[in-house]
Amino acid sequence: MIIPQLFKDKTIAVLGLGRSGKSTAQALLRAGAHVLAWDDQEDARANALAKGLPLTDLNTVDLAKVDLLILSPGIPHQYPAPHPLVARAQLAGVRPISDIEVLCLSQPQAQYIGITGTNGKSTTTTLIGHILKERGAQVEVGGNLGIPVMDLNPLGEDGVYVLELSSYQLETSPSFHAEVCVLLNITPDHLERHGGMEGYIAAKKLIYKNSTSTDTLVISVDDPHCLSIYEALSVSKKVNLLPISISKILSEGLYVKDGHLYEKGKSVLDLRKFDRLRGTHNWQNIAAAYGALRSLGLEPEMIHKGIASFPGLAHRQQIVAHYNNITFVNDSKATNAEAVAKALACYQDSSLYCLLGGRPKEGGITNLKPFFPSLKHAFLYGEAASTFALTLEGKVPYTLCDTLEEAVNAATKLALHDNHKGAVVLLSPACASFDQFRDFEARGEAFCHYVEGVVTQ
């Protein structure tokens, strides 16, 4: 755990006691700060108390006497409206910050690699960290995935923090500065939290806010928003740019052609060999990781070796089981239609039974229409079921289900009955999980449990 000594004797309010909030509060207590920790949810408060974390109802606190407010990422500070406590803090001149900001202020001597984008952040972050570890570097991996950053180990000037950064975290981490930044893509997501698309783009651009001409921004130029950012930065020369593309040949940077990654016009990787990183979306992740690591001076051979040994991530096209003619795939992390499209593109030659549902996001699944002909059957569950049914009506056969478990059982039964070679039951929900599950991890774990019940019965 990192002990942020610079906050000793400070009065720090911590709002939101999920994983990152609890971790930050505990680290601050160990540093000697006066911590006022609170969560609106009774079960979260009970959990914090059980872990020995003292609580203070921030609704009763004069926030003008607080030095800092540390905010969990899920709590709004601007749109659609600030949380009432955040609004009070801002009126008192207290700006909300994130645990990422605490890390940056506490560990300024280390190097940082920051990764953001709408999709692919976790795979790219974990892949970069894996390759650095394989090389023997002192590296810690965290942020918007896995271990909360305050639970990471402190690092000296030879260490590297590899951080996945959400748009929420970027907005509340004003001191974040990375030697290498990665911007993978920008497509509509979390728009209600940013006041629309322009606000979301502005949040993503904060990844390089503190960058200088000695730093590197690895940036995709395949979507119009990232391309526009690249063109503007090319003129300003604010930061060293390394463009990447999986759809077009570039005169500089990295690009993918016929399944090969090219650097300076020379093929350096055959991307088709990496079975745990299937699909063109993962080719973008590999290109970004390769570019980031080359910017740090790693040799292509070392990067190739690290990619080859990468085990992949749970909930991202994770193969759960093979049963008779069926392969079960857990892609619970696909919480929007763009992510689902990437998964469907990998299985167009399969007999595909797709599980879709949860709490719907803006836009629904209308942009999946090019993939509808490849779907044998869709199983719709949760809050989105009736809306998705309207989109699929007359185009894809579907079954309405109340729960994910019911959808798994129905899909398995139909796939066994159809007995098509190469059948795939794919959980790729295109929705948030919050109607039935705590988060996408819990949803994916439930899917794996339901599949285990099917294959062992």
- Please write the tens of the pLDDT for every residue from 187-227: 888 888 999 999 999 999 999 999 999 999 999 999 999 99
Question: For residues 413 and 425, what is the distance between their CA atoms, to the nearest angstrom?
Answer: 11
Say what the pLDDT of residue 49 is. 94
- Per-residue pLDDT band for 386 (boundaries 50, 70, 90) equals very high
Percentage of residues in the chain having pLDDT higher than 90: 90
Say what the pLDDT of residue 22 is. 96
Say what the pLDDT of residue 311 is. 85
**Cβ neighbours of residue 265 closer than 8 Å, sequence gap 6 or more:** none
For the residues 412-435, what does the mean pLDDT come to?
96
Specify whether the CB–CB gap between 38 and 55 falls below 8 A.
yes
* CATH 3.40.50.720 residue window(s) in the chain: 9-97
Specify the DSSP class assigned to residue 370: G
Specify whether the CB–CB gap between 343 and 334 falls below 8 A.
yes
Say what the pLDDT of residue 255 is. 98
Look at the domain 100-308 and name its fold.
UDP-N-acetylmuramoyl-L-alanine:D-glutamate ligase (3.40.1190)
Q: What is the CATH number of domain 9-97?
A: 3.40.50.720
Percentage of residues in the chain having pLDDT higher than 70: 100
* pTM of the shown model: 0.82
Q: Please identify, in words, the CATH class of the domain defined by 318-456.
A: alpha beta
* CATH 3.90.190.20 residue window(s) in the chain: 318-456
Q: Which amino acid is at 222?
A: D
Specify whether the CB–CB gap between 442 and 333 falls below 8 A.
no
Say what the pLDDT of residue 119 is. 86
Long-range CB pairs of 59-65, under 8 A, 24+ apart, other chains included: 59/85, 61/13, 61/36, 62/92, 63/13, 63/88, 63/89, 63/92, 63/94, 64/92, 64/93, 64/94, 65/11
Say what the pLDDT of residue 375 is. 97
Specify whether the CB–CB gap between 353 and 133 falls below 8 A.
no
* CATH 3.40.1190.10 residue window(s) in the chain: 100-308
Say what the pLDDT of residue 275 is. 79
